[in-house]
Structure 1
Amino acid sequence: MDYLQARSYLLGKPEAVEDFPFGPDVAVMKIRGKMFATLASEQGEGRMNLKCEPQQAMMLRDMFSAVIPGYHMNKLHWNTILLDGSIPVGEIQRMIDHSYALVAKGLKKVDRVGLLAKYGEALQLDV
């Protein structure tokens, strides 16, 4: 998965929006104002920060050399994924889905219920 594919998949999540609070080089993907990913491109290669449950974060770091502790993030709850082609696309999509679900589940109840009412099963909040 490259930068453009990652961006497209991230923005394909229900109600995902792109913001640039840290400047033009780092896109921040949010749902209802809460960040679920960052995406940056440097020297032709992308990198992405994704939220993750702590045990799963450690397992992914052990499994893939392109998964490292979250750059400029809480390293317990965030991983940085280097988009160097070494991780299967399906696995990166699963990591994105997991990050989105964790953040969506942490939204205020009224926002969560609104999302579920609007998107139902398509929301996939299983983590």
Structure 2
Amino acid sequence: MNTSDLLTYCMSKPDAEQSVHSDWKATQIKSGGVLFAMVHEVNGRPALSLKTTPALAELLREAHSDVVPSEHLNKTHWSTLLLDGSLKDSQIYYLVDASYQQAGATRAAGV
């Protein structure tokens, strides 16, 4: 998985907007003003931070050494996936979709 393909996929989501968080050296992707993905580097490795349910975050971290708590975001809900690791592209795309849906639920709830 490369970051260019990943950004293209994220930006294909309805209402997706891209911005740069200069302090974190990260590209943030939001929908309706709600963050659902953040592309950045972790120790020189390409990475993607996504929102999940706490239960899914725990399962992912237990099953994959390339999934860790996010450094800059709520560690209960946000996980960082190392893109040059063992995760399959299909898993990453599925998790992007799930994060996007979570952002939609947050928008709908007005949180």
TM-score with structure 1 setting the length: 0.78
Tell me how large the CA RMSD over aligned residues is.
Answer: 2.0
2:17 maps to 17
Counterparts of 1:83 and 1:69 in 2: how far apart (Å)? Answer: 14
Structure 1 residue 46: deviation in Å? 1.1
CA contact (8 A) 1:3 1:45 kept: no
Determine the structure 2 residue equivalent to 1:114.
Answer: none
Show the 5 A alignment for 1:30-109: 30-41=30-41, 45-108=45-108
TM superposition score normalised by structure 2? 0.88
Q: Paired residues, what number? A: 110
**Displacement after TM superposition at 1:43 (Å):** 7.5
Residue 4 of structure 1 corresponds to: 4
2:107 partner SS:
coil
Structure 2 unpaired stretches of 5+? none
- 1:4 deviates by 1.2
How far apart are 1:23 and its partner, in Å?
Answer: 5.1
- Alpha-carbon deviations, 1:4-31, whole Å to 9, x = none? 1211111111111101133583100000
* Greater percentage in helix: 1
Cα distance, 1:78 vs structure 2:
0.4
Percent of paired sites with the same residue: 31
Whose strand fraction is larger, Structure 1's or Structure 2's?
A: 2
Aligned to 1:124: none
Question: Is the radius of gyration larger for structure 1 or structure 2?
Answer: 1
Structure 1: tracts of 5 or more residues without a match: 111-127
